[in-house]
Amino acid sequence: MITFALALDIFTQLSFWVSVGVLAGTYGIFACGLQLNVGFTGVVNFGQAGFMAIGAYTMGIAVVELGWSFWAALPVAVLVAMAAGLLIGLSSLRLRADYFAIVTLAFAEIVRYTAINARDLTGGNQGLIGFDGDWARLSGGIQEALAPVGLDGEFLLPLLLVTWTTLVLLVLSLRWAQGSPWGRVLRAIREDEDAARALGKNAFAYKLQSIAIAAGIAAIAGFFHALNLSLLTPNSFEPLFTFLGYAVLVLGGLASYTAVAAGAVVLWTLLEATRLLELPLPAEKVAALRFMIVGLILIVLMALRPQGAFGKREEMVLGD
């Protein structure tokens, strides 16, 4: 078993927290889209990983296959992901909530299997590389700027800084939007869609906007996920990504974007810390045990504080 001294040494290493921070920032951005759908609109979306894959692959294909600039490909990829969100919403949002959740999950798997089989475009299971040249140059410039303070040795530190800058700006933007008349209509739809319609609000249009914006946010998370891996493979966008995003919501709490950021840090600190476990078991069983431990913590949290660690209990009480 790992000793306390060794664990303390690992927890005080900057590289550990940089790695946790990049993952937490990526999942925090990803879960902000889920928070918009679930926490503020009342739409259960299980296809967020599919929108993430569409954004990441659109960016990668535009750079590698079409020769676009990385920076020009990013906004186009966000728009493509949003268009996919509109397409799914237009065809399926009128379904009952549980059926819509199943449709979005199926959509995400269709996207993943398409990426596996469209080898000429995506590289299939071999993956797509070579899309991050422009980012590497920017990252190198950031590392040079950090050299005077002795932080140029951390390869992922520029990605951490950019990821969290994006997350903070996203949280501030979403909080502002949620306090606007548009955001208040979303909450009204979550509480009582029929009442919102009775007041003359087009609930379908607002839910469609929520899905599209969340899809665009997922695409942004996909960019950072791809840069962290330096490789795009279909297995990077399995449904597990979406379910971990929901774990972030459970840990943080519904209807709070700040809670999403905090929940992402808590989740990935737990997941990365459990990597320190040294047990006489095969690697795949240790990996499963890590998720069992985190799952147990989530169950205890749901029993003791169902609103999440940073959520408000009144957000759990929806209108009848």
DSSP code per residue over 6-26: HHHHHHT-HHHHHHHHHHHHH
Q: How many residues does the chain have?
A: 320
Token output for 92: 């399926």
CA atoms within 13 Å, Cβ hemisphere of 289: 14
Q: What is the pLDDT of residues 49-83, one digit of tens each?
A: 999 999 999 999 999 999 999 999 999 999 999 99
pLDDT of residue 307: 79
Residue 128 bridge partners (DSSP): 232
Residue pair 259/90 in contact (Cβ under 8 Å)? The answer is no
What's the pLDDT at 304? 85
Encoded amino acid at 276, one letter: L
Query: What are the DSSP calls for 194-260, one per residue?
Result: HHHHHTT--HHHHHHHHHHHHHHHHHHHHHHHHHHHTSB-GGGG-HHHHHHHHHHHHHH-TT-HHHH
CA distance 170 to 233: 26
Domain ranges of the chain: 4-316
DSSP result, 112-163: HHHHHH-HHHH-GGG-B----HHHHHHHHHHHHHHGGGT-TT-TTHHHHHHH
For the entire predicted model, the pTM comes to 0.94
What's the chain's average pLDDT? Answer: 90
Whether 237 contacts 48, CB under 8 Å: no
Pairwise CA distance, residues 127 & 134, whole Å: 19
DSSP state of 254: T
Task: Return the pLDDT at 318.
Answer: 47
320: Cβ–Cβ under 8 A, 6 or more apart, which residues? none
**pLDDT attached to residue 74:** 98
Q: What backbone torsions phi and psi does residue 158 show, to the nearest 5 degrees? A: -60, -40
Q: How far is CA 273 from the centre of its chain?
A: 20
Q: Which of 24, 320, 315 is nearest to 159 (CA)?
A: 24
> What is the Cα–Cα distance from 37 to 100, expressed in whole angstroms?
12
Q: What pLDDT was estimated at residue 10?
A: 66
Tell me which residues of the chain have a pLDDT lower than 70. Answer: 1-10, 277-279, 313-320
Rounded CA gap, 143 and 18, in Å?
14
Q: What is the pLDDT of residue 317?
A: 54
Say which amino acid occupies 81: A
> Terminus-to-terminus CA distance in the chain, angstroms?
51
Residue whose token pair is 């660690």: 309
Rg (CA), the chain: 20
Packed helices 14-34 and 48-64: angle between N→C axes, nearest 10 degrees: 110
pLDDT, position 65: 95
Please tell me the distance from the alpha carbon of residue 220 to that of residue 44, in angstroms, as a whole number.
20
- Residue 319: predicted pLDDT: 42
